[in-house]
């Protein structure tokens, strides 16, 4: 198979948007595919494209092409100092399509469709036009669109009849942890501010001092949150500024993952990678109702859906603190869900969607 990304793979990525492509490439290899890698800088992708055309001319026919796009247009996905190639990546897909190779692209986000989220820089002002150029290229290559959730598809405005399906994040296999002893402890891993507003959780914790919260956030975002969590007693809120490779200890000391964010239009289709990381660690999830994350949690039976309301959250936390057996039961269901939501499961899903079968 051909694995494509318009940027280099990072060996130790710090963001979910760079971790996912790395895990997917590894998963295709683990599933038994010989991977033709067309990721990298612009010069590296040009070289890889030339080699691919030589292989195709020699009679090699990969099973399918899978691309992990960027939140940026392809032209800006890597340093422009390496050269500008606005049509390179869609040309790769077009070549694969002409060779009879099914093409799929994971379309990561639709920030660019919301004017309020557009950057004010020169590249930010140019980005929507280049996003549209990329989109035309994907459509010309008859690409199947993979989205974090199907609820995202209307925001992209795809033509009628375009093929698409959900391909949410996943977790690593075999990493579930037993629940700890001691008082109920929550864990939150993610951002603060913008889409990640947790004001009602802060209010709930003020009313339930026996419940603890481990917060893994960037130090700068923590310092900017003085109006919310930074004013709480350190006795039950514990901030951590850690990278992705340092989280096992925090998960081992926590019972429940939280995604009790303020609901918004964005959260109606967004699927945070941390939802599946919580699953992979065996942590049931407390999530705001009415969000796409809540729909997933409900479908998997791996947590609790609650209104975005401090008083209701506080009542829920007190109930769970007094009924640890309910947390244990949800943790059991979470471990079962984690076993069928691994990166290799996602790789096999891609293969089956694009070719009708997997190795």
How many structural domains compose the chain? 2
- In this model, does residue 110 exceed pLDDT 80? yes
Calculate what percentage of the chain has a pLDDT beyond 90: 76
- In this model, does residue 44 exceed pLDDT 70? yes
Provide the residue count of the chain. 359
Paired sense of beta strands 256-259 and 237-240, if any: unpaired
Q: Which pLDDT score is estimated for 80?
A: 80
Q: Are residues 350 and 318 in the same domain?
A: no
Q: Which pLDDT score is estimated for 16?
A: 78
pLDDT band at 12 (very low <50, low <70, confident <90, very high): confident
- In this model, does residue 5 exceed pLDDT 60? yes
Contact 24, 343 (CB under 8 A): yes
| 315 located within any domain | yes
The 303-306 sheet, strands edge to edge? 237-240, 212-216, 185-189, 256-259, 285-288, 303-306
Q: Are residues 349 and 266 in the same domain?
A: no
- In this model, does residue 113 exceed pLDDT 90? no
pLDDT tens per residue, range 181-235: 999 999 999 988 888 999 999 999 999 989 999 999 988 888 887 666 666 556 7
| 272 located within any domain | yes
Q: Are residues 231 and 156 in the same domain?
A: no
pLDDT band at 159 (very low <50, low <70, confident <90, very high): very high
Q: Are residues 280 and 326 in the same domain?
A: yes
Q: Alpha-carbon torsion 151, 155, 158, 160, what sign?
A: positive
The parent domain of residue 116 ranges over 2-170+342-355
Least confident of 39-48, 113-122, 307-316: 113-122
Q: Are residues 154 and 205 in the same domain?
A: no
Q: Are residues 161 and 14 in the same domain?
A: yes
Distance CA 16, CA 21 (A): 9
Q: Which pLDDT score is estimated for 115?
A: 66
pLDDT band at 84 (very low <50, low <70, confident <90, very high): confident
| 24 located within any domain | yes
| 178 located within any domain | no
Q: Are residues 347 and 249 in the same domain?
A: no
Mean pLDDT of 68-94: 91
pLDDT tens per residue, range 310-357: 999 999 999 999 999 999 999 999 999 999 999 999 999 999 999 998
pTM comes to 0.92
Q: Are residues 297 and 349 in the same domain?
A: no
Calculate what percentage of the chain has a pLDDT beyond 70: 95
Least confident of 17-31, 32-46, 70-84, 286-300: 70-84
CATH code: domain of residue 203: 3.40.50.2000
Give the count of beta carbons closer than 10 Å to the beta carbon of residue 49.
18
Q: Which pLDDT score is estimated for 98?
A: 98
Q: Which residues contact 312 (CB under 8 A, 6 or more apart)?
A: 306
Q: Are residues 39 and 158 in the same domain?
A: yes
Q: Are residues 144 and 214 in the same domain?
A: no
Distance CA 240, CA 235 (A): 14
- In this model, does residue 247 exceed pLDDT 90? yes
| 179 located within any domain | no
Q: Which pLDDT score is estimated for 219?
A: 86
CA 255 from chain centre, in angstroms, equals 22
Distance CA 216, CA 223 (A): 13
In whole numbers, what is the pLDDT of the chain averaged over residues?
93
Q: Are residues 250 and 202 in the same domain?
A: yes
Q: Are residues 294 and 191 in the same domain?
A: yes
Contact 85, 46 (CB under 8 A): yes
| 176 located within any domain | no
């Amino acid at each position: 198979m051909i694995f494509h990304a318009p940027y280099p793979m990072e060996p130790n990525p710090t963001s979910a948007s760079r971790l996912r492509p790395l895990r997917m490439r590894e998963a295709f290899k683990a599933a038994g595919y010989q991977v033709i890698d067309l990721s990298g800088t612009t010069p590296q992708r040009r070289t890889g494209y030339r080699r691919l055309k030589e292989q195709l001319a020699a009679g090699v026919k990969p099973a399918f092409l899978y691309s992990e796009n960027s939140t940026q247009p392809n032209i800006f996905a890597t340093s422009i100092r390496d050269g500008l190639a606005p049509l390179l990546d869609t040309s790769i897909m077009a070549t694969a399509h002409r060779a009879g190779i099914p093409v799929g692209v994971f379309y990561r986000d639709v920030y660019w469709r919301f004017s309020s989220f557009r950057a004010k820089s020169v590249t930010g002002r140019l980005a929507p036009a280049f996003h549209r150029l990329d989109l035309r290229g994907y459509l010309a290559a008859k690409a199947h669109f993979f989205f974090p959730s199907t609820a995202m598809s209307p925001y992209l405005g795809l033509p009628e009849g375009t093929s698409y399906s959900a391909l949410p994040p996943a977790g690593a296999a075999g990493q579930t942890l037993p629940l700890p002893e001691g008082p109920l402890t929550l864990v939150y891993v993610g951002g603060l501010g913008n889409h990640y507003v947790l004001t009602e959780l802060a209010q709930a914790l003020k009313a339930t001092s026996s419940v603890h919260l481990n917060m893994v956030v960037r130090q700068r975002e923590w310092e900017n949150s003085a109006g919310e969590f930074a004013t709480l007693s350190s006795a039950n809120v514990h901030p951590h500024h850690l990278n992705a490779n340092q989280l096992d200890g925090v998960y081992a000391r926590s019972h429940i993952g939280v995604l009790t964010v303020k609901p918004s239009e964005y959260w109606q289709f967004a699927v945070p990678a941390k939802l599946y990381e919580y699953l992979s660690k065996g942590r049931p999830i407390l999530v705001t109702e009415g969000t796409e994350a809540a729909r997933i949690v409900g479908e998997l039976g791996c947590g609790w859906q609650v209104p975005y309301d401090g008083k209701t959250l506080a009542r829920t936390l007190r109930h769970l603190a007094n009924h640890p057996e309910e947390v244990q039961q949800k943790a059991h269901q979470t471990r079962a869900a984690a076993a069928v939501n691994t990166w290799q499961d996602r790789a096999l899903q891609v293969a089956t969607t694009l070719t009708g079968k997997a190795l």
